[in-house]
Chain A
């Protein structure tokens, strides 16, 4: 028993070496001709040989028994006792007759060069890397920790090459070189992590995009979304909020679901359904984005939105490597609105009052005083320059059997809106142990705690960024006694923006603890069982306080707590074997369960007796209230996949998954998700080889089905909601209200996706192109049909709709200039998706309205509609036709309007503008997203330009509406743009309506709908590498200076075309900007120090 306990303990702290490590070669046979060996090596590694047949004739056949040997070992064995010698240049092995003459006398000064070769992703030393002095036979290989030393002529060019990595040329200057090799993204042998396994890149049949850390190395990324943004075709990332740690919308190939979340599924080290915000980009070894159904169907009921697989770094064998990276940043809001000065505002209010028949609001004296002394600049009060810093320290290394990677990170960022900030602490420990050849363990433990303060998405009425736009500049912040001014007598009806900043506090702390343990046992060569167990615990704690000013004298506070535990068990049996040299089979069978248990508990105190206590003593309130409840679910899955390849030429992948979910009932509980993909590796065909143009050419086609649960637990049940009513002024009584009627017949949404893809590599892999075209059909779409008010309102969920997404992804990139001192690599990607609602079923009617509630105080109707023939996120509103012009007086009169009034399209021609005239006026769902990443290196300098853009989207600018309409909760016009309004007799061409009694402003009209396209210089950075020696060890110091969002090209009138009030939870109501938290311009200084 005791022994078992010890064994278990040992099992818990060990984990396995990464198979991502460079590939090994296996060749066995007696008397194999060298030519055949070379062919085999080329097949297995992608290295090419150059020789003459004359030379080769002089060589003898070799007998080899090499298994998983390094290239060097094999070559050494081949050339032992041969009259031949070889040298390696890039991925070419040059074979020549041994030179009989001694080495040329030293004509130039020799110098000692030493350094270290590391993996650019992991930063770990690479052992066995070949370093060759260009145009010479001088060379060496690196030692176990990646270190090397050799003598070479001054200013020699070193060619550094290693299997599975891009060959790099380095100028041999100085005595200490730090050389980072990038894993070949195009390397056919590079292993790519796919769902429940790995595959050689060359054997892939699905549409999978890989992002390597080199693509963002010198850019200030602090979160995964910043890594994904603009760097992968088919992935659209929108920073809905510029708040640090704020919500972000990430979509892979469009949105399939109306009810469900369209966020991709994140799989981190095998844990399915991770929260992307918990991943520290510094800890990422690789990111794979699975886009087509043949890749995602293996995730069955959760794969419909694409899958992002993240593998975290592991330690490498060798000496301890310590790395510190730090960043300090300063941010400023992109821009602010041009608002009227207090004096001009007061004049305009009086001018407008006179036209409306109202008394003047300001006296002449007051106006003169405002002109002289100014008023309140509310935007200045709300926005600030914000600081941020991040520190990460990692230690990694390992012995022969065990490797470890430990990383700690602290991030603190202020928001550009006062009183908002974000803090994140994370710690990760990844330990791997190879106990025997057959048995290995992994244990990844990560703890992540993040606190968001006042960064939540806010709707207009209580948003300081909105109130700053509509509070009159003539109203002071404070009363003479120092209290906040409670009401704005002229402008906004809502709360003082400065009070909204400081008389309120909203903190959310989420602490995740994730333990992923994994044991793998290889029974026989190729047959392995892997058992993974994940414990993921989340504690979410919310605290909020609303003080006396912001509640009009009824201060309240609340605390909420959510404890959630996710348990996952994955049992994977995999088998890989090559039959007869040509037929390779790679099969996997998995049994997986996942269960989610949670319990929330909220407590609210209203009428706080001592508001100064904030949220700390809720009981001390006039009216404490509590609520609680669980929302558990479970998932049971079985899946299998077979990859078959014939001579690496013809590839087939077939997979099937069967999922059962507790959210569904009866025969709808289980569903099956099949997929099939074919690949044709044209590079292996002689007729392509003969052209000698393509280093890689592959055609892929796939089909598959994925699903989405899309509903919350209990949706099949008719449940009651809890409510509160007051039968007198001193007590509250709890009651129950009928909730939405349940539909026991609910089932999965199913997305059927077809994809064809083409991969092209030319110029020996220097230039690569990936293109995919796809069509996704989501059927049995779950829709919440809104129920009419007369049956109690709410909604009824049923599987009635159909949505189509079709589009293409294109990425093209390569090493445009690749010289010793100067390189330029450029990667461009663009993707386009056409989203279209095909059907919403027969029972619902023509369309479904979905309100965002964002427009409260501005608009009164649902801004969005789901209607067949249009994309999700179609705007519903009046079509604005500009102002009535002087020659249209008669026509205007029919609408009780005069020239200068707003003119709207009268759809039904009844000479009245009302609800019947609303129509679809735009699209809130972006169609196109692009990214262009350029990296230049010159000696030790690295320069990066990264552009990112989103196109094909309209934005509803409610901020503009609230400042320009003079109706709504804003009441007065505050924007300087009003100077250009229609003024009878003076300016009669303007489409900004005149001040008029008969003018009606409908904020929900195309007048405030703007083109939201933008292209942004997301990053420009310059980095410099400084080699150092620390503790007699070679060290690397890299410093960089980066600017984010420095330049934006857009026609949008708002502060930020990217910002929106709607978070990632829905795709129907997106792209509304009503004081959305804008993104900022940021300057970051970073430092990376490793030894």
Chain B
């Protein structure tokens, strides 16, 4: 059989278009191609300019009152950005665990909290860095408002208020920073420049000078009434200034002349407290109702406010953080054993601590029966014992009671306690269920000591005790005889434990920040 090769048949093509049409198509295509190239050429000019619609760029944004207001709102954000920066979760409480009022669990995920309680804080501790970054984010926003408000057009009074709040935020943030870290980098300008990356540390004295000056500006610019619950008024600025002066009287500034200023400034607030809307509530229980439907209480000088409708504006210090694991809580913080045992009985102790705990199955345990064997702070439970970490409760950064006791202590340290000093201290003692002190019964030092002790009971767990111990250099003494059931300090406590190392990311970004 011969090989057969089948020739490829030509396909019967069904041509759609006639030859004439083909020619026209070609012509058209050539035209289209040419037109395309020409269009491209024509479009070149400005073709690559970036389209910035939808973006807020540059300082012009702060030229309007609304823009300035928006920038101020952003400045608050650093202080309250849940789980990210600021105070909305256990960072500030954790950072003050060196106080003898508060501790954490020996096991579980509390390693970073334990570092504070045991005086072995690592530069990598994320609890301090959350506060650190939050305060500086707020300072950046405040710097921006302060740098631009004089050029903003709008209602001058509102613009001044905005600026006043910005000065307040900057002072508030630097006050927290220098108390936590001592010497810190200090920035007062808004515009980023590369030389900021090599600056060195500013000593506490210079930081306090800025804080005083900023609070002075805030006092000038702020109105008597808060614009909203979460904002400061003139009284708030005065109260913080009094607190700053009190702190400056102690370590590390140790300028005793500040005590008189603390007393006089506190007195201004006390005298005008109604004007500023501050009240001393008749019962301790009213302060810690912790009703999320209320916007704080009349005792609040300044709150970082929350609204759990948004994940990043949710408060997480109340509820689970303060509840025992046996109930589903987080065991983040609870009372040290000796602190609880020495706490004077009375309505204040009843509100401060929880002593019985109802489990999911209905059984009730005492604090000794809890896994942690510690009493918990009932004052940080949400009304109705809501089992949740999230709430809309404000975090109270200072209470009017603080101002009363600032006056009492400062007065005692600047010429001795007067009748007002006794009155204010007794107001607090009596509300707490203690007997009043007789006018003139104590020496100035004794009186000051009793105020300091009163502050420990009154502000238990409220991030006050640690700073009192630091400024009065009582940290070593307060931690000397801890209950064996509590965490013990690792190694000896020294002055270097009074402040924390700057976050390691900061010193590695700028080695000039190494002390």
Contact = CB atoms under 8 A, between A and B. Distances in A.
B310 A724 contact: yes
Interface in B465-515: 485, 490-491, 503-506, 508-511, 513
Contact of A10 (B16, B80, B190, B370): B16
Contacts of B328: 486-489
A725 B10 CA distance: 77
Contacts of B3: 85, 87, 137-140
B155 interface: no
Interface string B354-391: 00000010000000011111000000000000011110
B371 A719 contact: no
A669 B22 contact: no
Nearest to B105: A358
B172 to A, nearest CB: 15
Given A662-B48, A725-B313, A357 B36 contact: no
A606 B311 contact: yes
Contact of B390 (A521, A533, A552, A787): A552
A728 B76 contact: no
Interface stretch (A299-307, A681-689, A908-916): A908-916
A789 B503 contact: yes
Contacts of B126: 860-861
Interface residues of B, number: 136
A488 B108 CA distance: 13
Contacts of B310: 606, 623, 625, 724, 726, 732
A846 interface: yes
Interface stretch (B24-32, B240-248, B437-445): B24-32
Contact of B15 (A85, A139, A401, A741): A401
B309 A732 contact: yes
Contacts of B341: none
A735 B55 CA distance: 14
A361 B30 CA distance: 84
Contact of B111 (A144, A737, A1000): A1000
A862 B7 CA distance: 72
B292 interface: yes
A357 B137 contact: no
B13 to A, nearest CB: 3
A824 B111 CA distance: 60
B504 A632 contact: no
Nearest to B309: A623
Interface string A342-369: 0000000000110011111100000000
Interface stretch (A434-442, A640-648, A950-958, A1055-1063): A434-442
A101 interface: no
B80 A725 contact: yes
A255 B363 CA distance: 59
B281 interface: no
B71 A736 contact: yes
A1090 to B, nearest CB: 21
A399 B11 CA distance: 8
A139 B37 CA distance: 53
A622 interface: yes
Contacts of B13: 399-401
A628 B122 contact: no
Interface string B45-58: 00111111111111
A967 B111 contact: yes
State the majority secondary structure of interface residues on B.
Answer: loop
B234 to A, nearest CB: 17
Contacts of A732: 307, 309-310, 313
B24 A729 contact: no
A571 interface: yes
Interface string A526-538: 0001010100000
Contacts of B57: 717-720
Nearest to B331: A971
A206 interface: no
B8 A967 contact: no
A726 B305 contact: yes
B115 to A, nearest CB: 9
A725 B382 CA distance: 21
Interface in A728-767: 728-738, 741
B112 A531 contact: no
A569 interface: yes
Nearest to B127: A860
A359 B52 CA distance: 62
A726 B306 contact: yes
Contacts of B110: 967
B348 to A, nearest CB: 26
Contact of B77 (A140, A723, A966): A723
B22 A435 contact: yes
B111 A628 contact: no
A358 B107 contact: yes
B123 A914 contact: yes
B51 A630 contact: yes
Given A401-B13, A724-B77, 18 more contacts: A70-B8, A399-B11, A606-B310, A662-B48, A662-B49, A714-B52, A717-B55, A720-B56, A727-B76, A732-B309, A736-B56, A787-B192, A793-B137, A845-B511, A849-B508, A966-B107, A967-B107, A971-B107
Interface of A: 3-4, 7-8, 10-11, 70, 72-73, 76, 85, 87, 103, 127-128, 137-141, 143-144, 150-151, 317, 352-353, 356-361, 399-402, 435-436, 438-439, 486-490, 493, 519, 521, 529, 531, 533, 552-554, 556, 569, 571, 591, 593, 606-607, 622-623, 625, 628-630, 632-634, 636, 660-663, 665, 669, 713-714, 716-738, 741, 785-793, 796, 843-847, 849, 857, 860-862, 896, 912, 914-916, 918, 966-971, 997, 1000-1001
